[in-house]
A and B are shown apart, each in its own frame.
Chain A
Amino acid sequence: MSKAIIEIKDMTLVLGGRTILNIPHFALLEGQSISLMGPNGAGKSSLMLVMAALLEPTSGTVVYFGKQAHEQSLLNLRRRMAMVFQKPMMLDSSVMENVEMGLKFRGLSRRARERQVTPWLERLGINHLVRQRARSLSGGEAQRVAIAQALVLQPEVIFLDEPFSNLDKGTRDEFKQDIGSLLRENSITTVMVTHHIREATDLTDIIYYMEDGEIISRQVTSDYLAVDEFSRQG
């Protein structure tokens, strides 16, 4: 049995007087890749922020890598994880500076940064954009840059909040393949939010459905595939 990387117990999140999240128990295991699905406003993004130690829950406990948040350095904790936001925010500098920002924060030399960044730029097809100002990128380009920005950090856990939502269909399919094998190769624990069942089944092992701040069901995606096959045959 692999160990829990993030474990949530009796957690609630209240924002502006409203209960946004209410999670009695949830665990993300090492090497697992899961999807969060559910309607708009269900709390998927908020749950990700809590899991990424970017948002403090109102009550309850969250255990990261076996320790509670207050028992460890939040900075070190955050540096083991990476997040691709639903709406990527670029800093007002070049694409290159944006992509290598996290590595810079971790104190890597210019050379080391370049060595680490270059392969990802090629893999994500943004090599030609490196000198462009990040704020002038198209939605899809910004999303690629955001994915690169997260992957260059070689995180133990990655959070992807609707990472393909701005990509055109061709790119989306290509990316899905590529990112999928990439995450598997590097056995990065993955949490992804998506509204597309195919993305969830192709990229992750378990789907959690959320509604009104609660996790209402859990499905193993291989079951889905079986159903899918079945319905196609029928």
Chain B
Amino acid sequence: MELIWEGLVKAFYLLMALDPEVLEVTWLTLKVSGTATLVSVLIGVPLGAVLALGRFPGRNFLVSLANFGMGLPPVVVGLWVSIFLWRSGPFGAFNIIYTPLAIIIAQAVIASPIVTSFTLAAIQQINPRIRLQLLALGANRMQMLWSLVKEARLGLLAAVMAGFGGVVSEVGASMMVGGNIKGMTRVLTTATVMEVNKGNFDVAIALSVILLGLAYGVTALLTTLQQWRNQR
């Protein structure tokens, strides 16, 4: 009990003191996971829409792949992204490993299937008569796609939340491709693991509280956005 209390006090203190190191880690976490989510939206939304609307050979396989990909273990993603980015790997020449960009790549790999699957489900849920209506109104392919994406916007915001929640909370991939380098690739999750390893439970608890706050804050923002129109 005491430990938890001390942790909370420490968290409060770190936050109130605007500890520059903690701020830096928090800011990097938000930047990295936010960017990764954005990338996964740019990939996952069109992909999900095409999978929802298209009929082509291999479609079912791709759908099952996306669904399977939702549960990709971050450690496995981290390992494979590392293999590709290592100095001796195929993309080694770019010198990306142990940079924030490497974490963004790995997290985007984790989040993209999540966003794809959520988008697919959201668009498939739309009443098929809407598609007929749009066709009758003279929508071309792009207009159809865009109209349906707009129609599915509530589900899409859920996709964004799930994607962000998935990456902001993972530690395995960030650790492997980022390396938890202070002032460079240290994010909230990797910092928490490190503090626990060092036995600094109070700092670890403080970081975890900040992480929860961050995840909740972003989700609350998106939820407000999502529910906005329904309240009018």
- Bound together, the chains give a CA A105 to CA B145 distance in angstroms of 12
Per-residue contact bits, chain A 82-98, to B (CB 8 Å; 1 contact, 0 not): 11010111011100000
Question: Counting CB contacts under 8 A, is A190 at the interface?
Answer: no
Whether A79 lies near B133 (C-beta < 8 A) is no
Across-interface contacts of B150 in A (CB, < 8 A): 91-93
Interchain CB contact under 8 A, B137 and A101 = yes
B23 at the interface (CB under 8 A from A): no
Residues of B within 8 A of A82 (CB): 136-137
Q: Contact between B138 and A153 (Cβ–Cβ < 8 Å)?
A: yes
Chain A CB within 10 Å, residue with most, of B134, B139, B229:
B139
In chain B between 107 and 161, which residues have their CB closer than 8 angstroms to a CB of chain A? 127, 129-130, 132-140, 143, 147, 150-151
Contact, CB under 8 Å: B130 / A105: no
Q: Is the CB of A89 within 8 A of B129?
A: yes
- The answer, yes or no, to whether A102 is at the interface (CB within 8 Å) is yes
Decide: A105 near B140, CB < 8 A? Known: A78-B135, A89-B130, A89-B133. yes
| Interface of B (DSSP majority class) | helix
| Distance (whole angstroms) from the CB of A191 to the closest CB of chain B | 13
Are A52 and B138 interface neighbours, CB within 8 A? no
- Is B198 part of the contact surface with A, judged by Cβ < 8 Å? no
| Chain B hits for A101, CB < 8 A | 134, 137, 147
The answer, yes or no, to whether B55 is at the interface (CB within 8 Å) is: no
**For residue B138, which residues in chain A have a CB less than 8 angstroms away from its CB?**
75, 78-79, 102, 105-106, 153
Contacts A89-B127, A91-B147, A133-B232 given: A105-B137 contact, CB under 8 Å? yes
What residues on A are CB-neighbors of B134 within 8 Å?
A: 91, 101
Output the least CB separation between A138 and chain B (Å).
Answer: 18
A79 cross-chain contacts in B, Cβ below 8 A: 138
Most buried by B among A49, A79, A85, A92: A92
Instruction: Tell which of B127, B143, B232 touches A105, judged by Cβ atoms closer than 8 Å.
Output: B143
Residues 65-86 of A at the B interface (beta carbon under 8 Å): 75, 78-79, 81-83, 85
Question: A225 at the A/B interface (Cβ < 8 Å)?
Answer: no
Q: Which residue of A lies closest to B129 (CB)?
A: A89
Residue among B132, B137, B150 with the highest chain A CB neighbour number at 10 A: B137
Is A54 interfacial (CB 8 A cutoff)?
Answer: yes
* Residue in B132, B133, B143 whose Cβ sees the most chain A Cβ within 10 Å: B133
| Residue ranges of B at the interface with A (Cβ–Cβ < 8 Å) | 127, 129-130, 132-140, 143, 147, 150-151, 229, 232
